[in-house]
A = this chain, B = another copy of it.
Amino acid sequence: MGDIVRIRRASLVAFCAAVFEKLGLPPGEAADSAEILVAADARGIPSHGVARLPRYANGLRKGIMAGGVEPATLRETPVSLVLDARGAMGLSLSKKTMERVIAKAEASGVAFASVRDSNHFGIAGWYTELAARRGMIGVCMTNTAALGVPTFGREAMFGTNPIAVSAPALGGRLFTLDMATTCVTRGKVEVYEREGKPLPAGWAVDARGASTGDAQRLLEDMLYQRGGGLLPLGGEGETLGGHKGYGLAVLVDIMTAITSGGVFGKAVMDSEATSARVCHFFGAARIDIFRDPGEFKADMDRLLDELSSAVPADGRGRVYYAGQKEHEAEALSDIEGVPLAAEVAARLAELGASLSVELRP
């Protein structure tokens, strides 16, 4: 880990929005995209934050992603919406789509959307929390470039395909599970490569399908599609449930790409410069289709209290519930500024300078 600098959240959002505008996004899309990107860093998920800004810039310059694109509606019912994003900016499009899903759920009780031919959308949990803050249960998934190897396989056949779900407790407290369905993402392997550390067993296999700890070789093999890749949640084989993580990853492909007629499985591929076109899934359900929302939230509070006050294992400080670490990190970021690796801040400042946008602390 290098040095960390902290930048005021509002400054960082303003910077990213200005960069996005310079790159051609309409002001509303630029603001939404900046807000969602910075939220990842604020929550302590830098792999999905502003470090990706240069990749978005490449995507916009090359026309892989574009501002001001109106998605085409492929199908719509009172409980569903299917969109062809036509290469729209994934972040702002996804916010608008989740807002449409929420509006449909307000009217119908529950609604879903699937979207094809979109782009990287940041952290899935941002969209599910949009629903949870409106008193709903939210769900979100996306497929991603194929880097994941099925149980007993050797070729990448699916992405890191995250699943997120949020549900509201009292006083704005949220349960937010936001998880890649592979053990780890490529970003984590890159960290080990930079630090020259061997990968823990269970994270990845090589081109023959054998467990590997060689981060550098793995990254090259994945880049040039020589075989090998990341193992599903649960690791190698079936002993720790790797076949379950594999099943969840495929489920994400079904819900995002097969419901929308998009690209799935091994055909989803990143380029060196930018991310692959991908497919998303969004859902929202009103609590009162099940139960009085006040009673639901009170029980949620009791559940989260019981979990976060559970007795820790010897040598461990605390037990967390899903989302708790991220929400604590976000509260700190709002006071002390959003943490960025100094080298990321330097790269941002450089990108900004090339567009006459200044990064203020």
**A interface residues, Cβ below 8 angstroms from B:** 74-75, 77-80, 82, 108-110, 112, 114, 137, 150-155, 157, 165, 167, 175, 177, 179, 183-184, 200, 202-203, 205, 208-210, 227, 233-235, 239-241, 243-248, 250-251, 253-255, 257-261, 264-266, 285, 287, 289-291, 295-296, 299-300, 303, 306-307, 310-314, 316-322
- The answer to whether B240 and A150 touch across the interface, beta carbons within 8 angstroms, is no
Return A336 CB to nearest CB of chain B, in Å.
24
Return A325 CB to nearest CB of chain B, in Å.
9
Q: CB < 8 Å: which of B108, B109, B313 contacts A152?
A: B313
Residues of B within 8 Å of A152, CB to CB, are 312-313, 316-320
- The answer to whether B290 and A208 touch across the interface, beta carbons within 8 angstroms, is no
- The answer to whether B210 and A313 touch across the interface, beta carbons within 8 angstroms, is yes
Q: A159 to B78: give the CA distance in the assembly, Å.
A: 36
Q: Give the oligomeric copy count.
A: 2
- The answer to whether B291 and A259 touch across the interface, beta carbons within 8 angstroms, is yes
- The answer to whether A289 and B79 touch across the interface, beta carbons within 8 angstroms, is yes
Contact of A314 with B108 at beta-carbon distance under 8 Å, contacts A114-B290, A291-B260 already known:
no
Residues of B within 8 Å of A239, CB to CB, are 200, 202
Residues of B within 8 Å of A265, CB to CB, are 303, 306-307
Q: A307 to B183: give the CA distance in the assembly, Å.
A: 19
Q: Chain B residue with minimal CB distance to A108?
A: B79
Q: A261 to B314: give the CA distance in the assembly, Å.
A: 34
Closest 8 CB pairs of A and B: A209-B313, A247-B322, A177-B247, A80-B289, A259-B290, A179-B244, A152-B316, A79-B109
Return A171 CB to nearest CB of chain B, in Å.
16
Since A82-B290, A175-B251, A265-B303 are in contact, a sample of 9 more A-B pairs with Cβ atoms closer than 8 Å, ordered by chain A residue number, is A79-B110, A79-B289, A151-B319, A153-B313, A167-B258, A183-B240, A235-B235, A250-B321, A259-B296
Residues of B within 8 Å of A260, CB to CB, are 290-291
Q: A137 to B281: give the CA distance in the assembly, Å.
A: 14
Residues of B within 8 Å of A154, CB to CB, are 310-314
Return A142 CB to nearest CB of chain B, in Å.
16
Q: A328 to B311: give the CA distance in the assembly, Å.
A: 44
Q: Chain B residue with minimal CB distance to A258?
A: B299
Q: A250 to B166: give the CA distance in the assembly, Å.
A: 11
Residues of B within 8 Å of A243, CB to CB, are 320, 322
What are 14 A-B residue pairs whose CB atoms fall within 8 Å in the complex?
A80-B110, A80-B290, A152-B313, A153-B311, A154-B311, A183-B234, A205-B313, A208-B313, A250-B307, A258-B291, A259-B291, A259-B296, A261-B299, A265-B307
Q: CB < 8 Å: which of B209, B245, B317 contacts A241?
A: B245
Return A315 CB to nearest CB of chain B, in Å.
8
- The answer to whether A75 and B303 touch across the interface, beta carbons within 8 angstroms, is no
Contact of A183 with B241 at beta-carbon distance under 8 Å, contacts A299-B261, A322-B247 already known:
yes
Residues of B within 8 Å of A318, CB to CB, are 152
Interface centre among A75, A310, A321, by most B CB within 10 Å? A310
Q: A80 to B296: give the CA distance in the assembly, Å.
A: 16
